[in-house]
A = this chain, B = another copy of it.
């Protein structure tokens, strides 16, 4: 029996589960999944504090995992789902990997790649914006509210 075709909200909820894992580790809660043939082949959540490494964003980790899984540095048949709009670093990686579909939750009004240049992505990449935007923004806001309470 073929797997049911899943929609953007389904996969974004999976990315949100990754964001929750980051939250539990006291990391800025951003999550990502990479989908190939209607199946999640890689997951990642922000680990910059735990790994003490600015490059440990959810997307970068998911891209590295997906490349290992597929055995190719190009992910030309994949979609990436991220809870927050990627920063220029992650958009650059998505561009290099030639991922044809980027789906993100909430805009990042400070560091989102679109504030710098839309052309950081591959010219053929389709961008689907604001899928479960409220949920994706809420978890970030909740995280920073908690942080401020502790100060």
Q: Which residues of A contact B (CB under 8 A)?
A: 48-49, 51-55, 60, 63-64, 67-68, 71-74, 87-93, 95-97, 113, 116-117, 119-120
Please measure, in the bound complex, the distance between the C-alpha atom of A48 and the C-alpha atom of B96, giving whole angstroms.
10
Please measure, in the bound complex, the distance between the C-alpha atom of A74 and the C-alpha atom of B53, giving whole angstroms.
8
Please measure, in the bound complex, the distance between the C-alpha atom of A85 and the C-alpha atom of B55, giving whole angstroms.
18
- B96 x A116 contact (CB < 8 A): no
Please measure, in the bound complex, the distance between the C-alpha atom of A52 and the C-alpha atom of B68, giving whole angstroms.
7
- B116 x A88 contact (CB < 8 A): yes
CB < 8 Å neighbour of A89 from B49, B67, B73, B93: B93
Could you say which residues of chain B place their CB within 8 Å of the CB of A92?
A: 87-92
CB < 8 Å neighbour of A54 from B54, B73, B116: B73
CB < 8 Å neighbour of A52 from B49, B71, B90: B71
Q: A73-B49, A88-B91 are in contact. Are A54 and B96 (CB under 8 A)?
A: yes
CB < 8 Å neighbour of A63 from B55, B96, B120: B55
Q: A116-B116, A120-B116 are in contact. Are A60 and B55 (CB under 8 A)?
A: yes
Give the residue name and chain of the B residue nearest to A48 (CB): B73
Please measure, in the bound complex, the distance between the C-alpha atom of A49 and the C-alpha atom of B64, giving whole angstroms.
13
Minimum Cβ distance to chain B for residue A132 (Å) = 25
Minimum Cβ distance to chain B for residue A34 (Å) = 13
Interface pairs (13), CB distance under 8 Å: A52-B71, A52-B72, A53-B68, A53-B73, A54-B67, A54-B93, A54-B96, A55-B63, A55-B96, A88-B91, A88-B113, A89-B90, A89-B95
